[in-house]
Structure 1
Amino acid sequence: MKSSTLYAGAALACALGLSACGGGSGDLPLTVSISGGVTKEGLVLRNEGNGEEVTVPAGAASVQFKKYLSTDDEFNIVTKSVPSNVSTCTISNGKARANYYTIYTVVPTVFCTIKPHPLSVAVNGLNDSGLVLVNGSDRQPVTPPATAGAQVTVSMAQIPEDGSYVVKIFSDPGTQKCDISGGTGSMGATGPSTAPVVTCGPKPQ
């Protein structure tokens, strides 16, 4: 009789949601930090520990699963899907047993890498040194071709998909004046939206 009474008391305690019994909704929120600048919809995370999934809005810095965890519940965060402009996503601190340390101090983090694409600039008519092209912090000096005036292709730093670029002429060649067309645009999945072209000619007297 005594053992029956103890069993009934333990069952009642579990029903009231004590985390040690492994049930209940818990009181620990599972929040994931999002890094790498996810710019498109499509990132879906899954907690393999309980099967819950959450969709990450574009531009979000963090996301929280709806189900709260109990102490000692195991969580294991994986990526179910990634946006079309993302090459890979890696997860750090994504697998552990829930407690105040793993939830609030060692925060699970997802880092996604946006697909990069090449950006080239065609340079025509160049026959002198000194031409420098810039796009933000990217600075590219242009070497004149062996055959004066022949077209030169300049490779700028790669641009992440959906990112923008503004290619400008930082300095002209010593004896020439250069102009650029199509220098401003955005990077699509198949390449830049414009074709940057630099045309150089004699410097006006």
Structure 2
Amino acid sequence: MKLSYAGAGVALILAATLAACGGKAQFTLQGTVDNLRNSGLVLANGNDTVSVPAGATSFTFPQQIDYGTTYNITVKTDPAHMNCQIGGGSGSAGHTVTIQAQVVCNQNTYTLGGLFTGLTAAADGTARTVTLLNGSTGGAVTISSASGTLGAGDFVFGTQVADGQSYGVTVVKPDVANGLTCTVANGTGVMHEAAVSNLILTCVPTP
């Protein structure tokens, strides 16, 4: 808190000094960028814009603003396959010595799921379950016969998959020791700009 007050005090002294000389303090809109892997990011402050290249760790707007001018840095265009959020991007020039916004970008993520058939309850009415695993880091989903109608229904993994990331879905074998044998179709691929919903889990009575 003391540093914030000190910064504001320095800015006010600078503004007062320049005002006495007939001018206004000028401030540069700038900040840091984290995890920008793709191109296309454009930031805006009103009509002033700046394009930020992939891999950049900082940005600076071409136009400075006068002391006391309000600013609001926004994402005009997200980078390809990513979304970005801004922290500290609005305020009034002169409240602190410098304007330092923080831009953090993340890869877009999408759901992974599909349909199941043949997952019926046991003869005594007990629900049967099957667990699917998406690789070692993509999470798992447990599907119950109680969640379908006549052994059929849909399912979605709770863990989403990032754009450009591969997925590989398999059946966890211990869950199939209940009188059913289950297989997965369309279980491998690469996530790309849309949710995947064409996985098919098919269960049949174990011979």
With normalisation by structure 2, the TM-score equals 0.59
Identical-residue share of aligned pairs (%): 23
Could you tell me which runs of 5 or more consecutive residues in structure 2 were left unpaired when the two chains were aligned.
Answer: 1-17, 122-127
Number of residues of Structure 1 aligned to a counterpart in Structure 2: 174
Cα distance, 1:113 vs structure 2: 7.0
Q: Show the counterpart of 2:74.
A: 78
Cα distance, 1:65 vs structure 2: 1.3
Cα distance, 1:201 vs structure 2: 3.3
Q: Which has the larger radius of gyration?
A: 1
Aligned CA-pair RMSD: 4.1
Which residue, 53, 57, 79 being the options, matches 1:57?
Answer: 53
Cα distance, 1:176 vs structure 2: 2.7
Q: Show the counterpart of 2:15.
A: none
Alignment of 1:1-205 (within 5 A): 21-22=23-24, 30-34=30-34, 40-48=38-46, 52-58=48-54, 60=55, 62-65=57-60, 67=62, 72=67, 74=69, 75-83=71-79, 85=81, 90-95=85-90, 96-97=92-93, 102-103=98-99, 107-111=100-104, 117-127=110-120, 129-135=128-134, 136=137, 138-144=139-145, 145=148, 147=150, 150-157=151-158, 159=160, 162-164=163-165, 165-171=167-173, 172-174=175-177, 175-192=179-196, 195-203=198-206
CA contact (8 A) 2:138 2:159 kept: no
CA distance in 2, matches of 1:31, 1:117: 29
Cα distance, 1:71 vs structure 2: 9.1
CA distance in 2, matches of 1:158, 1:57: 30
Cα distance, 1:153 vs structure 2: 1.5
Question: Deviation per CA, 1:174-198, whole angstroms, max 9, x where unpaired?
Answer: 2233222221223334432x72222
CA distance in 1, matches of 2:109, 2:168: 16
When residues 32 and 66 of structure 1 are mapped into structure 2, their CA distance, relative to the original with a 3 A threshold, is same
Q: Show the counterpart of 1:10.
A: none
CA contact (8 A) 1:70 1:98 kept: no
Partner amino acid for 1:166? G
SS in 2 for 1:131: strand
With normalisation by structure 1, the TM-score equals 0.59
CA distance in 1, matches of 2:22, 2:186: 64
SS in 2 for 1:195: strand
When residues 46 and 98 of structure 1 are mapped into structure 2, their CA distance, relative to the original with a 3 A threshold, is farther
